[in-house]
Amino acid sequence: MTFLRPLIENLREALTHESATPNDSALRPILVDPVDKDGLFVVPKSITAESEVRYAKRRQDSVRIAQYADSKCGLPATFDKDGGYLCGGRKDGRSSACNKLVGTECLIRKNPINNMHYQSCGMWEMRNAGDPEGRYCPKGKLDDSRIGFGSTKSALGFSCQRCEYSTTMKMSDSEGRGSFCRLKGHPVESNACCEDNEPV
Ligand code: SF4
Ligand code: SF4
């Protein structure tokens, strides 16, 4: 039986090693999708039921990490159905101002808003009388990098359809999203938006 001893010891070592450093992918799968030479995700040529599940998981991550919202996911108050996402809404009044804007003061931003029809941040919320907002204390007010504050030259505002990372797909997903975000790696609605918007 001595010839079996090395085998048994190797097996015991392998099992011990396995329990000490468990295989990470066995704990939960890591989603890996193809990336192009420019460092952004490849736009899919087709969408399957399996890929929709993967995209839904990525979209939930965008909701959490970048405040993504569209008509079917994310915080409903942070979806602008008109695709403006502007502090003061569109100048022509055809989109909602942000619920956190009072005059030129933003309740959460350190500095006042000086161009409300062309500025925004990732924390935009639709104006809603039933949704009171709190003014942050002076020390607690947030700087621009924290809230993803930025400007656009478009009078129509922000949203995925005016973001450099959005590409129109050849087909829509089963919930009607017809664009693909190459930064986040999942289908998006044209009027959706997130904190990482790069205006074009
Ligand atoms: S900076 Fe952000 S939170 Fe403040 S008013 Fe503008 S969109 Fe709203
Ligand atoms: S297309 Fe732009 S705004 Fe839309 S989710 Fe992607 S990064 Fe955000």
DSSP per-residue string spanning 27-68: HSPPP---B-TTSSBPPPS---HHHHHHHHHHHHHHHHHH--
Mean pLDDT along residues 145-165: 98
Does residue 4 form part of some domain?
Answer: no
Q: What is the pLDDT of residue 12?
A: 41
Q: How far is CA 104 from CA 15, 65, 185, in A?
A: 64, 27, 36
Q: Of ligand 2's atoms, which has the minimum distance to the CA of residue 198?
A: 2
Give DSSP secondary structure letters for 32-43.
---B-TTSSBPP
Ligand nearest to the CA of 147: 1
Residue 131 has which token pair?
Answer: 């949704």
Residue 24 in any domain: the answer is no
Question: Per-residue pLDDT for 45 more than 90?
Answer: yes
Per-residue confidence at 7, pLDDT binned at 50, 70, 90?
very low
Query: Is residue 168 one of the residues assigned to a domain?
Result: yes
Nearest-5° Cα angle at 29, 25 to 31: 125
* % of the chain residues with pLDDT over 70: 88
Q: Would the CB of 196 count as within 6 Å of ligand 2?
A: yes
In a domain, 27, yes or no: no
Q: What is the C-alpha separation between 150 and 199, in angstroms, rounded? A: 9
pLDDT band at residue 17 under the 50/70/90 scheme? very low
pLDDT at 25 over 90: no
Residue 172: inside a domain: yes
Q: At residue 106, what are phi and psi to the nearest 5 degrees?
A: -95, 130
Compute CA 56 distance to the chain's CA centroid, rounded to the nearest angstrom: 12
Give the closest ligand to the alpha carbon of residue 114. 1
192 lines ligand 1 (CB under 6 A): no
The total of structural domains in the chain comes to 1
- pLDDT at residue 1 tops 90: no
Among 101, 131, 144, residue to substitute to test ligand 1 (most atoms within 8 Å of Cβ): 101
Residue 42 domain boundaries: 34-188
Averaged pLDDT for residues 71-84: 98
Rounded Cα–Cα distance for residues 5 and 112 (Å): 75
Tell me, yes or no, whether 152 lies in a domain: yes
CB-based contact 60:187 (threshold 8 Å) = no
DSSP assigned state of 174: T
Domain membership of residue 149 (yes or no) is yes
The pTM assigned to this predicted structure is 0.88
Q: Is the CB of 85 under 6 A from ligand 2?
A: no
Tell me the mean pLDDT in the region 145-164. Answer: 98
Structural domain includes residue 123: yes
- CB 116 near ligand 1, within 6 Å: no
Q: Report whether 107 contacts 124 (CB < 8 A).
A: no
Contact 74, 64 (CB under 8 A): no
Query: What is the distance in A from the centroid of ligand 1 to the CA of 91?
Result: 16
> Residue 22: pLDDT band by 50, 70, 90 thresholds?
low
Cα(133) to centroid(ligand 2), Å: 26
pLDDT at 78 over 70: yes
Q: What is the pLDDT of residues 112-144, one digit of tens each?
A: 999 999 999 999 999 999 999 999 999 999 999
Residue 121 Cβ < 6 Å to ligand 1: yes
Band of residue 9 on the pLDDT scale cut at 50, 70, 90: very low
